[in-house]
Amino acid sequence: MRIAVLGGDGFVGWPTCLHLSDLGHEVHIIDNLSRRWIDVELGVQSLTPMDSIQERCRIWYEVTGRKLHFHLLDIAKEYERLRGWLVEHRPDAIVHFAEQRAAPYSMKSDRHKVYTVNNNVNATHNLLAALVETGIDAHLVHLGTMGVYGYSSVGAAIPEGYLNVGVETMDGRVAQQEILYPTRPGSVYHMTKSLDQILFQFYAQNDGLRITDLHQGIVWGTHTEQTRRHVQLINRFDYDGDYGTVLNRFLIQAAIGYPLTVHGTGGQTRAFIHIKDSVRCIELALADAPAAGQRVKIFNQMTETHRVRDLAEMIATRAGAKVAYLPNPRKEAAENDLVVRNEQFLALGLKPTTLAEGLLDEIVDVARKYEHRIDRKRVPAVSAWTRELGQLVETDPERKRLRSVS
Ligand code: NAD
Ligand code: USQ
């Protein structure tokens, strides 16, 4: 297939491009490189040394003889160019990663909120409008998030996207209806993914677009089979307080002897998936496209759930590290259970990589190898969800102590 990977220079996008190219697909990367600019804005860099996208593509060609085509394009701002690109290249499938994806970044200031909404909602809507306008019947696979559901389990497993509800009618009967699982986003970023869901529902129903939405959990790890093939194919690895996700952060914190930064009691339960499984899920989703006129296909893309404090204690015990319980800069439930249904990917053949299997490799291979590139001042998470929480974080003695040791 000819596949356009929007956001193909990012953490999940890059290994996905390599995986799909390795399977023999013609892969086109569309990216505006905004994530690299955000690194500059924040004064951070990937733990792993990342080459330019052009250089990465050149190396892939040298190693495999397969071409990756790169196109510099902002899909949120350059509607006409996006439409023109689609007409010229007529992809069979499109994988859409091209959004601002960090919850803490989206909550940093009003400017960051506005940017995240403008970028994410326009990116998705431009793409949908352009597909309708050009009549291109590409299967669109979008990377959504588990966070659209919120994380409360109300004692029931979270289904894959849809919920059957009974609604009382005027004449006292109970009418059955299938609805999107009610959204309860916990950040501006997660809210944009909830808005995406409605856009997809509308365009699938109105124009027969064929759409799959993958509600993905937190991705951890960094290597895939393909990124290991050459040192310059290495994936990015974010460890900073905005873009670093919890498990990857705990891994590097343990490796550099920095106390593991648990927010609050660490009673938050979240869903996780290894990067290797993430790219495999995209392959499986691409092969299982809905027909025109069918409802949006929704998969829960996760393999296991863990409580944050259990992860911290497990990693600390293995690595001989300390755990610091800090005031939570986020407005989120202090404790929650989370049970998630994920039978669809398992039925399609996904064999989950569990935390226990991959964990030590990641610490040894990546975190310790590139330890010298870590700026310890960038480790604390300081973006707060409200002014009051910001003050709490700012004045916390344990935070101050951490800042002084770093
Ligand atoms: P990332 O920030 O590393 O990559 C996103 C890429 O999209 C970047 O290369 C960026 O430059 C590009 N981009 C952003 N806006 C664009 C625009 N307007 N036009 C063109 N390119 C644009 O993020 P990631 O971790 O690879 O995540 C990819 C997707 O998966 C995101 O949509 C994210 O919401 C979703 N997701 C990620 C995780 C995770 O743990 N990383 C978990 C669940 C879902
Ligand atoms: N946390 C800590 N300590 C830290 C960092 C985070 O305790 O140092 C806690 C947070 O408070 C939160 C949990 O860990 O309760 C998860 O935080 P995270 O930063 O790992 O994940 P999140 O902000 O939810 O976002 C990430 C990705 C996002 C994706 C989402 C999937 O950045 O793109 O959509 O995971 S999910 O969480 O399932 O919604």
Mutate to test the pocket of ligand 2, among 237, 239, 270, 379 (most ligand atoms within 8 A of CB): 270
In angstroms, what is the span from residue 7 Cα to ligand 2's centroid?
20
* Nearby residues of 300 by Cβ (< 8 Å), 6 or more positions away: 146, 158, 160, 161, 215, 217, 271, 340, 341, 342, 344, 345
Burial of 132 (C-beta count, 10 Å sphere; 0-12/13-18/19+): middle
Mutate to test the pocket of ligand 1, among 70, 97, 116, 273 (most ligand atoms within 8 A of CB): 97
Per residue in 194-235, pLDDT (tens digit) is 999 999 999 999 999 999 999 999 999 999 999 999 999 999
In angstroms, what is the span from residue 271 Cα to ligand 2's centroid?
10
* Residue ranges of domains in the chain: 2-237+271-305+333-355
CA-based nearest residue to 92, from 56, 140, 49, 47: 140
- The ligand minimizing its distance to the Cα of 33 is 1
In angstroms, what is the span from residue 217 Cα to ligand 1's centroid?
13
| Cβ–ligand 2 contact at 78 (below 6 Å) | no
Instruction: Please report the pLDDT score of residue 185 as a whole number.
Output: 97
Question: Which residues belong to the active site?
Answer: 145, 189, 193
CA-nearest residue, atom 1 of ligand 2: 246
| Cβ–ligand 1 contact at 32 (below 6 Å) | yes
Ligand 2 atom with the smallest distance to the CA of 193 is: 34
For residue 61, the Cα-to-chain-centroid distance in whole angstroms is: 27
- The ligand minimizing its distance to the Cα of 278 is 1
In angstroms, what is the span from residue 404 Cα to ligand 1's centroid?
33
**Please, what are the averages of pLDDT over each run of 10 residues along the chain (406 residues)?**
98 98 98 98 96 98 98 98 98 98 98 98 98 98 97 87 96 96 97 98 98 98 95 97 96 92 97 97 98 97 97 91 96 94 96 83 81 93 95 86 69
- CA-to-CA distance for 310 and 333, rounded, in angstroms? 16
| Cβ–ligand 2 contact at 301 (below 6 Å) | no
Report the CATH superfamily, name and number, of domain 2-237+271-305+333-355.
NAD(P)-binding Rossmann-like Domain (3.40.50.720)
pTM above 0.85, yes or no: yes
In angstroms, what is the span from residue 218 Cα to ligand 2's centroid?
7
Instruction: Please report the pLDDT score of residue 406 as a whole number.
Output: 61
Torsion-angle region of 33 (φ positive above 0: left; ψ -120 to 50: alpha; else: beta): left
Instruction: Please report the pLDDT score of residue 405 as a whole number.
Output: 62
Burial of 348 (C-beta count, 10 Å sphere; 0-12/13-18/19+): middle
Instruction: Please report the pLDDT score of residue 318 as a whole number.
Output: 87
Instruction: Please report the pLDDT score of residue 71 as a whole number.
Output: 98
Which residue type sits at 405? V
